[in-house]
Each structure stands twice: as structure tokens, then as C-alpha cells.
Amino acid sequence: MTKPDVLLVGPYPEQDMAVLRDAYVLHNLWEATDHRAFLAERADSIRGIATRGDLGADSALMDALPALEIIACYGVGVDKVDLEHARARGICVTHTPNVLTNDVADMGLALMLALARRIPQGDAYVRSGQWRKAKMGRLTTSLAGKTLGVLGLGRIGRAVSSRAEACQMKIAYHDLIVHEDVDYAYYASPHELAAAVDVLMVCLSGSATTAQMVDKGVLAALGSQGMLINISRGSTVDEPALVEALQSGAIAGAALDVFANEPQVPEALLTADNVVLQPHHASGTVETRAAMGALVIENLRCHFAGERPPTPVF
């Protein structure tokens, strides 16, 4: 049986690459020096795209491949895939939800604890030898009794909430709908939520609707003792407004796994003492990445076997 041709936009972990090489004729776009010529030579044969959440697939890439049937995304976020164009072309789009929920929620809790308890600063203090000279004088903040505001009560938002409850935090949220199956306090807008909580955890999906939802007004409402955690997409936060809020003391601090222009991070965030930073690595465990790769492979297998993929966007 002839193997289907699949365009790989960027590399996957080697164990997944080995499976894909065995099942498909792979075309590695990231290795090509001239993308346009590379695609033109293969335009009529490529039936699938395997991409990543950080790379996506735009309309130009789709239009360069007239035989394209499926775009399989390694990641839950598909904000960098032109979904409207794919739908208009009748192209199936899949992603990898559910398998990364726990790890991303764990990172949200870890970032919140690291920020509140100043764990990176304590580590640096011990390593520098300063502890031998004097005790670290600055006290930190307890989470117990505080209110966590969850912006986006989806799978990850709910998983973060259950972890925060174990820390004896109260939970409030804003979402597009009121969820009747939880007893958390609901607020009708991000601004109202921010004004009512001590920590604001951003768990939104990336889209035009959520772009810069956390703006200057929301940050002002969070207040000088408030903390912001972002484990969603960098696009959901007005980054210049966040920098200004951190520098002016409008909020107490921020812990960020995502940024507006990754991997570029504003210098003001790199040098700030009230910020904890991670390299968009919330799902970066051996277990979760293996599960993500397996789901991409299964989505592709099902499609080319004439079956419905297990996790389609549409």
C-alpha cells in the first residue's frame, strides 16, 4: 500500500518521528531553505500536515497544497491554524486536548506557589552564599484563605481550581457561561473578577475573542496586592500594560509561562524581581509529550484509514 505524503512543519520528539517515518512519506518543511520551492515540488502529493501549536498552519500554506485533507496539531491550542480557511477548504483539523490538562494545571499551581512564596529568590539567596551572612529578611505570602480567580473555567481551569482548593483557597471565575455544576462564585466580566480576587489565573484559549482580555483595566482592578498567573497564551494579556503594572506597583507580581512574542521576552520582565518566568513548558513532561505524540499519530492514522479521528476540532 502506498504511504500517504505528510508535511511536517517542525520536528517532533524522535520517538514520534520514527513512527511517522514508518507510516508516511514525510516532507520536513523546517529543513528546506526555500519553502515556496519545496512546497511547489510536492504540492500535488501532500495530503496531510503535522504541525505544532507554536507553528500552526496559515492560509498560504494550505493553499500551496491542493490535495491537503488533514492538519494534525501537536498541542491543544490551534490559534495559529487558520481555522476559518481550513473549514472553507473542507480540511479536517485535529489537536491533542485532555492529555496535557494535569501537567498544565500543575504548572499553574507551581507558578502560583513560586510567586507567592518567592521560591526562585530563596533559591538564589542560598546559592549566592548570602544566607551564611544574614537571614533572608523579606516575608512571603500564604495562599491559604486567599481567593483564586480563574479566567476560563475549561478543563485546565477546573483542574487548577481543584488544586487550589487543596491549598485552602476560595475559587471564583469568569467564563462565557455560568457553570451550574460548580459552586464557585461567578463574575460577569474579567474586570469584576479581578477586583474580587487575590490571584488571577489565566486559563483561556487563544483567539481573537480572548486577545488582550487582561488589559490595563483588569490589572488595575486586581490591585497592588494582586498576582497574575498566565498558563494560557501570551496573546490573552496586554504585555506592555503588564510591564507597566509591575513597574508601577499596580500589581504585586506575575508568573508567566507564555508571552506575546515567544521566544522574545521583554527585558523589563527578565530583570524584574516580582516576576517568575517559564519557557512555555507547562506540558513539558516526558509522560504528557508522549501522550500528545501518540494522539497526533492516532488522529492521522484514523483519517487515512477512513475513520473519524478521536480529537477533531472539526
pLDDT, tens only, 82-91: 999 999 999 9
Measured distance CA(104)–CA(292) in Å, rounded: 13
Q: Is 126 part of a structural domain of the chain?
A: yes
Residue 240 scores a pLDDT above 80: yes
- Residue tagged active-site, from 27, 118, 233, 303: 233
Q: How far apart, in whole angstroms, are the C-alpha atoms of residue 126 and residue 36?
A: 53
CA distance readout (Å), 105 to 108, 161, 230: 5, 9, 11
Domain of residue 263: give its range. 101-277
Same domain, residue pair 187 and 156: yes
**Residue 243 domain-assigned (yes or no):** yes
pTM for the model stands at: 0.92
29 in a domain, yes or no?
yes
Burial of 253: CB neighbours in 10 Å, binned 0-12, 13-18, 19+: buried
Give domain status of residue 265, yes or no.
Answer: yes
43 shares its domain with 168:
no
Task: Please tell me whether residues 131 and 220 are part of one structural domain.
Answer: yes
Based on the residue annotation, tell me whether 52 is a catalytic residue of this protein.
Answer: no
User: Would you call 227 helix, strand, or coil by DSSP?
Assistant: strand
Mean pLDDT of the chain: 97
Tens-place pLDDT, residues 156-206: 999 999 999 999 999 999 999 999 999 999 999 999 999 999 999 999 999
Is residue 309 a part of any domain in this protein? no
Total count of domains within the chain: 2
CA distance 171 to 158: 10
Q: Which of 41, 165, 262, 287 is catalytic?
A: 262
Q: What is the CATH number of the domain that holds 262?
A: 3.40.50.720
One domain, residues 60 and 132? no
Catalytic residue (one of 85, 117, 179, 280): 280
233 is catalytic: yes
Whether 31 and 67 map to the same domain: the answer is yes
Indicate whether 250 and 294 sit together in one domain. Answer: no
Q: Which helix (H) or strand (E) holds 255?
A: strand 253-256
Whether the Cβ atoms of residue 256 and residue 269 lie closer than 8 Å to each other: yes
* pLDDT surpasses 80 at 1: no
Catalytic, 262? Answer yes
